[in-house]
Amino acid sequence: MSPEFVANPWFYAAAGVAVVLSGISKGGLGAAGGLMVPIMSLTISPVQAAAIALPILLTMDLVGAYAYRRDWDRRQTAILLPAGILGLALGWLTFRQLNDHWIRVLVGSISCSFVAYSVLRRPPAPAAPNLLKGYLCSAASGFTTFVAHAGGPPFAIYLLPLRLATAVYVGTTVIFFTVMNVLKVVPYAHLGLFDARTLWTAAVMVPVAIGGILLGLWLRPRMSPKWFYRVAYALLFTTGVKLLFDGFRGLGA
């Protein structure tokens, strides 16, 4: 397979920012979830952005899964995974029914909603596990992670009120999305999303992702997560608004 790459030079500027910020987040400054696809989608199709992002996210996930291999809630994971897989399957079945404009609207909506939820929320009241809520949230997470690698918000809505220990919360999230991302490989291949250009471009960005993780590890004792969140959320919200504008404009054309 001869090397082929995305030709748009602006893609590499956008992808570099998105991948580095995601790597810093994975390196220990918190979950700035859903950054990669929205920012990449400013320069390329959101479908192509999702395909390029998956191998990069898998690389990050494997590092995270190893780091948190002992710190995760096995009972909650066993409850949440089946519904998450169902949501993933729904995303697979409906993916071809969504054109690029609808996907931009969906990704933009998720991005803006995530920022609003993260900034405006108050600490959730402690709650006991609720199976129905867990199934609904993890199914929604499976669907949104398939379409845009943005399954974090619905997953957090269920998991945060359980008040798990921080390491267990992070570990459970990492393990859940590692499994989800591994399972996405076959559907993405079936949908024809992995062409030579996609895979070679992703391969170029993997070292950037690893560098971002190492930078996150270096910054963790030196930088307040508050400032990282401010930059990440401002960027994500601005990107979400732009995608909503482009998506609705395309639908109205």
Dist CA 89 CA 83 (whole Å)? 10
Dist CA 37 CA 131 (whole Å)? 30
Tokens describing residue 4: 């082929």
pLDDT bracket for residue 108 (50, 70, 90) = confident
Task: Report the alpha-carbon angle 186-188-193, nearest 5.
Answer: 135
Output the pLDDT for position 155.
Answer: 87
Beta strands in 18-149 (DSSP E): none
pLDDT in tens, 125-163: 676 778 899 999 999 999 999 988 888 878 888 888 888
pLDDT in tens, 194-218: 999 999 999 999 999 988 888 877 8
Say which DSSP state 121 is in: P
Burial of 2 (0-12, 13-18, 19+ CB in 10 A): exposed
Output the pLDDT for position 124.
Answer: 61
pLDDT in tens, 64-73: 888 888 889 9
Q: Kindly report the average pLDDT of the chain as a whole number.
A: 86
Which among 244, 180, 239, 251 is positioned nearest to 14, based on CA atoms?
Answer: 239
Residue 48 CB contacts under 8 Å (≥ 6 apart), including other chains: 6, 193, 198
**Locate tokens 């963790």: which residue?**
220
Q: What is the pTM of this model?
A: 0.87
Tokens describing residue 3: 């090397």
Dist CA 105 CA 117 (whole Å)? 18
Q: Helix, strand, coil proportions of the chain in percent (round to 5)?
A: 80, 0, 20
Which among 52, 97, 29 is positioned nearest to 233, based on CA atoms?
Answer: 29
